[in-house]
Structure 1
Amino acid sequence: MNYKFMRLMLFFDLPMLTDKDRREYNRFHKFLLRNGFIMMQKSVYTKLVINNVTSAAIKQRVYCNLPPAGNVELLEITENQFSRIEYLVGNEQQEVVDSTDRLVEI
């Protein structure tokens, strides 16, 4: 099977004014981690997917778990585009998982 590796990049900005807002933030953050997203920066997460079908399934899960308020954006790019990220300040993170395995233990 020929795989077309893609990256889903998720950006979000959620309100943190009330206890309910903080609970929603924590719930969404934990949802992202449980579903294999890796934090690149605060409120910027990425996930490696192997094809468009997998990407659509992950997107559907995100849509079903959106917080009630705030901004959430999702960008789908190719692995080739993702590999051309330029680090202007700081260094590339060493703990970025770049594997097609279903379960990765860190």
Structure 2
Amino acid sequence: MWVMVLFDLPVLTKSQRKAATRFRNDLLDLGFEMSQFSVYLRHFAGKEQAEVAVRKIGAVVPATGAVHVLTFTDRQYAAMVCFDGRTVGRKKSRDQFVLF
């Protein structure tokens, strides 16, 4: 299960910039990786772990701005099409771990 956090936070005043920076740092502390400046991603082993993460994100959302949290499966993630400059291709899915 994947969790994607998309946000648009105001940064006009010093206190707003501080709140936005704190939120980004909180996402990093929760194990998220920056995909784009206001888009963070993290993979979870199951739906229950993803739901716990969503609750933790809700607890650290700043008072102003917009934060959207999307959850989707590995199959949906693998079907994502990415445009990077002139290169077009499918998103490479994570390699599966082999234990033995």
The answer to whether residue 80 in structure 2 is matched with residue 60 in structure 1 is no
Relative contact order (alpha carbons < 8 A, sep ≥ 6): 1 or 2 greater?
Answer: 1
Task: Check if 1:19 corresponds to 2:14.
Answer: yes
TM-score, L = length of structure 2:
0.82
Of structures 1 and 2, the larger Rg is shown by: 2
Gaps of 5+ in 2: 89-93
Number of matched pairs = 91
- Which residue in 2 is equivalent to 1:95? none
**Structure 1 runs (4+) greater than 6 angstroms displaced:** none
- In structure 2, C-alpha distance between the alignment counterparts of 1:88 and 1:15, rounded to whole Å: 27
Aligned match of 2:45 in 43, 50, 57? 50
Distance verdict in 2 for CA 1:70–1:35, change over 3 Å: same
Segments of structure 1 that go 5 or more residues without pairing to the other structure are: 1-5, 93-97, 101-106
Rounded to whole Å, the distance in 2 between the matches of 1:86 and 1:99 is 18
Identity of aligned residues (%): 30
Q: Which residue of 2 aligns with 1:103?
A: none
Normalization by structure 1: what TM-score?
A: 0.78
CA distance in 1, matches of 2:29, 2:8: 19
**Aligned-CA RMSD value:** 2.1
